[in-house]
Structure 1
Amino acid sequence: DDQQAEASYTFGDRSTSDIVVRLRNEEGRDDWIYCHSKILTEKSRYFSDRLSDKWPTCKILDSRYCVEVICQESDYDHHINLLRLLYVVGSGDDDVPEDHHLCHNVKSALGILCVAKDLDCPLVVTACVNYLEAVPWEEGEEEEMLRVVPMIGPEAEPVLARLQPVDQSAVTGIFSSALRFATSSPPLPLCDIKASAQEQIEYMITEDDDAPLLIADEVIKLEVKECVNSLFVRFFQCLEEVSSKNGLSLKMVVSDLSWAFQILTKMEMVRDFVVTWVETSEKLVKVVEAMETVAETVEIRVKVTEVTSKVVEAIGYGTVILPTMKRLQMVKLWLPFVRETKPRVDSAGSNQEEDKEEGVRCKIDGEIWQALESSFVSIILALPSSDQAEILTEWLSKNGVYPDLTEAFEVWCYRSKVAKRRLGLLGGEEDGKDMS
């Protein structure tokens, strides 16, 4: 009978109500909400205490028929929704019924959860926790979760499960899987997913406001090395089988190599990459220069230039130490290549009226051209003087076109002019030491 009576109770039904909850705030709102003591006392320990004989005001007239609750304006609606929820929770299911609208968004559920904690309503707390644990959140809501939920207590811990850090083995596992996919050659429809994997891998190992998600140990470094090696295997295959049909494959694998270099730089593992690129440079330049002059070839030149820029920067600034002949070879191979590539790229990039998309694809950031210039100057100035003279003579014969080697020319002139005096002084000092 009690269960049937309880089931027949309706929130706000004055005809069957035996108690009023008077909800007030400092802004002057004052609502009389008609409720049922059986519902309130069974589902809220706060109301159970207020309506018990133990409460200090139990002897005051009407105290058993009117309970005053004072709240903030920001929590006012949450209190009303909580009272409504007391009528629907606890019917054999801890979840809020699917057709119920009181927890229709995260903000509302969080507000009700806080009130339920204050008024000691465990069933409503459970209902809100179940709701919040299951629904998606916006990024701003995640911050609110982290602020509010820990204050609720251990019963709300499941809500934050999705935000908890995972153990290092799980991070390593997902990194390895993502890395293998990021260095694979999937069908074109999956390329966007591959690009996302590459982006997230870089994010995982980058130190910004937060520490890197992954610290590269020897196992991780070996995995990275193997994946980069597999990229180079595909790269070599493309060079052997290059044609108009597989130009797209060559462009994609060079693009992947450009990304891989970024990863290796962050992990301080670029040496093997640089050495491999240097050894492959002669064949690569011949293959690309032999390709037909079409838009796709310009795109390949763009990608090759981007990777070469990273490699010569590592050589020019001493990140990777190579013998003199290797450094000289890089200058003699790539200086003419980039000199020929820049006007082609500039022309393709300015031809956007005919094909805007192509213009974008064929564009190189001005900083890359500048970085190439600076790197070539650094490499040249570290070569023997006679090799510098040969390179600068060839550059001047081209009327000083890109890349601008003016700085190298000026330094060479100064060094050459003062060389005899410098070395003479050095020799004199040595002679003086011998005489003493």
Structure 2
Amino acid sequence: MLRIIPHLGSQYVEILARLQPVNPISVVGVFISTIRFATSSPSTSLRDLKSSAQDQLEYVLTEDDDAPLLTLDNEDIKIEVKNCVIDLLSRFNHHIESLLNASQDVVSEMTMVCDMHSFLSDISWVCQILTKMEMMKHLVCYWLEASSNIIKVTEKLNQDDDMPETRLKVIEVTSKVLDEVGFGHVIVPTAMRLSLVNVWLPFVQRTRPLLEQANSESEGGSSLQIDSEIWQGLESSFISILLTLPSASQAEILAEWLRSEHARYPDLTEAFEAWCYRSKIAKRRLALLDGISNGTSSQVPP
């Protein structure tokens, strides 16, 4: 078709119009409209369309053999994505605060649970988009600041542990946040890294056995698919963050981990061994330095 139709005359050229490259301005316009819709809170009747929009955006941003439809360094796109994420997190934060202040009867209503799950699903999806665009910093900072309230609401929603789907979604988002911090993609101060471990490590330890139990007790196979990569990623991230903390903070966390009934997961043995080695070597080096300063030794510490 591409070779023959152009030779048939100008009246037939329109047949190929839909195959021509799209104007970049039009692509940006479609992207902006789609990201706005994909991060909105439409009515129930439009949720399937919203899910489709999210899938297509992810496809457009996926690197493959075809030339990309748009460049991710486009400032208009970055600004729009940032604004959409800020709006999504603002609505999520308002929902969190509403649940914190609501009575248990209200919190237990299915609509509140569904809204919470919907927000978390959107945030989990947004993490994939932001990672591709190297724009995770804003979401990471929000998640760090809101961690305590998110856990309180999640525990409040799951007092009878009969709604583990919410916990799983929280874990999914947290794993992506921990990955960004643990492997240096987003740099945060030491105090925030310490808070991140202290807040989320106990929650993750409590959550894994609850999800495993929900799967084992489910009849006909559980709808909860616990991805082993999530757990492995969380474990690696905790270890990476832990190894960047001051030695005294590491000691407190490791001591609490060893006392915990959930010491089986995550396995912090690698961090524990590194702490023991570093502590022992540090003691020897400090002793050598003291000896040099007192003139009792001429040996230079390794």
- Does the TM-score normalized on the shorter chain lie above 0.5? yes
One-letter code of the match for 2:64? D
Residue 38 (structure 2) aligns with: 182
One-letter code of the match for 2:128? Q
SS in 2 for 1:241: helix
Structure 1 unaligned residues grouped into runs of 5+: 1-144
Equivalent residues in 2 for 1:15-414, closer than 5 Å: 145-146=1-2, 148-150=4-6, 152=8, 154-216=10-72, 217-242=74-99, 243-245=107-109, 246-294=112-160, 297-353=163-219, 356=221, 359-360=222-223, 362-398=224-260, 400-414=263-277
One-letter code of the match for 1:230? D
**Counterparts of 2:34 and 2:27 in 1: how far apart (Å)?**
11
Question: Residues 65-90 of structure 1: CA distance to partner in whole angstroms, max 9, x if unpaired?
Answer: xxxxxxxxxxxxxxxxxxxxxxxxxx
Rg (Cα) greater in structure: 1
User: CA offset at residue 211 of structure 1?
Assistant: 2.9
Which one is further off, 330-339 or 401-410?
Answer: 401-410
TM-score (normalizing by structure 2): 0.87
Question: Residues 266-325 of structure 1: CA distance to partner in whole angstroms, max 9, x if unpaired?
Answer: 111111110111000011111211223456631111111000000011110111111111
SS in 1 for 2:153: helix
User: CA offset at residue 424 of structure 1?
Assistant: 5.2
Which one is further off, 146-155 or 295-304?
Answer: 146-155
User: CA offset at residue 151 of structure 1?
Assistant: 6.1
TM-score (normalizing by structure 1): 0.61
How many residues in Structure 1 have an aligned counterpart in Structure 2? 284
**Counterparts of 1:146 and 1:373 in 2: how far apart (Å)?**
53
Residues 194 and 419 (structure 1), Cα distance of their counterparts in 2 relative to 1, 3 Å cut: same
**Counterparts of 2:82 and 2:207 in 1: how far apart (Å)?**
30
Question: Residues 7-55 of structure 1: CA distance to partner in whole angstroms, max 9, x if unpaired?
Answer: xxxxxxxxxxxxxxxxxxxxxxxxxxxxxxxxxxxxxxxxxxxxxxxxx
Contact 1:205 1:215 in 2 (8 A): no
SS in 1 for 2:185: coil
**Counterparts of 1:322 and 1:209 in 2: how far apart (Å)?**
35
User: CA offset at residue 428 of structure 1?
Assistant: 7.9
**Counterparts of 1:341 and 1:182 in 2: how far apart (Å)?**
29
Structure 2 unaligned residues grouped into runs of 5+: 100-106
One-letter code of the match for 1:258? S
**Counterparts of 2:16 and 2:160 in 1: how far apart (Å)?**
55
SS in 2 for 1:387: helix
User: CA offset at residue 343 of structure 1?
Assistant: 1.0
**Counterparts of 1:340 and 1:169 in 2: how far apart (Å)?**
49
Question: Residues 396-423 of structure 1: CA distance to partner in whole angstroms, max 9, x if unpaired?
Answer: 1125221111111111111111112344
**Counterparts of 1:391 and 1:351 in 2: how far apart (Å)?**
32
Contact 2:158 2:164 in 1 (8 A): no
**Counterparts of 1:156 and 1:220 in 2: how far apart (Å)?**
36
Contact 1:258 1:307 in 2 (8 A): yes
**Counterparts of 1:282 and 1:153 in 2: how far apart (Å)?**
68
Contact 1:288 1:301 in 2 (8 A): yes
**Counterparts of 1:160 and 1:150 in 2: how far apart (Å)?**
9
